[in-house]
Chain A
Amino acid sequence: NAGVTQTPKFQVLKTGQSMTLQCAQDMNHEYMSWYRQDPGMGLRLIHYSVGAGITDQGEVPNGYNVSRSTTEDFPLRLLSAAPSQTSVYFCASSYSQGVGTGELFFGEGSRLTVL
């Protein structure tokens, strides 16, 4: 059982480049989300989705795009990378509250450095 799979695990970009962080889950979870974690800080929500075709902004959405064409996949696109986007990115998924506790299942994280 793969759970939540994120790729790539490491990436170095130059300012202005674009890239896509891939995220896939095989647990049939309705909810998927992207967080970023900066050094010594907690996770901040970038974008989230409550189902295929439905996405919404989180706390820090600027500079990022998402789409949810299938239940399984939730890619995060950096449109024009900036040094301020250097961070560790986590993709997460969850059931709705009605199924268990609704806790987050996380990918292993993607460490992005923007030069």
Chain B
Amino acid sequence: AQKITQTQPGMFVQEKEAVTLDCTYDTSDPSYGLFWYKQPSSGEMIFLIYQGSYDQQNATEGRYSLNFQKARKSANLVISASQLGDSAMYFCAMREGGGGAGKSTFGDGTTLTVKP
């Protein structure tokens, strides 16, 4: 079974509007971490935001926030006030157990296009 599911292959959003990118995950490990990464057309991978399974509050980093619903096993990324530079592919990833994210599982990604 796929551990990370991103059901939106492509999304469009108008500049300055908010957008939510969906991510659901599957694990039986009580300790895990959830990450979102951005991959612009240039190809590099950029870390955006992290949520730990024991964190009580949703993570926020500037215009990025993570809507963490543990019981539903979802970790949606919310981008507020979209900018043209937000156009990229976005990946949700999960690390199970302790340790670093080196053994992460990735979803297939969502391509976000921001329209002017």
Contact = CB atoms under 8 A, between A and B. Distances in A.
**Are A and B interaction partners?**
yes
B104 A50 contact: no
B9 to A, nearest CB: 8
Given A42-B106, A102-B33, A104-B37, A96 B100 contact: yes
Contacts of B99: 31, 50, 96-97, 102
Interface residues of A, number: 34
Given A30-B100, A45-B103, A94-B102, A104 B109 contact: no
B106 A96 contact: no
A84 interface: no
A58 to B, nearest CB: 7
Interface residues of B, number: 26
B25 interface: no
Contacts, number: 93
B109 A48 contact: no
A97 B102 contact: no
B68 interface: no
Contacts of A88: 43
Contact of B100 (A97, A106, A108): A97
14 contacts: A33-B103, A35-B106, A41-B109, A42-B93, A44-B106, A94-B101, A96-B99, A97-B52, A98-B98, A102-B99, A102-B101, A103-B50, A109-B43, A109-B44
Interface of A: 29-33, 35, 40-45, 48-50, 58-59, 88, 90, 92-98, 101-106, 108-109
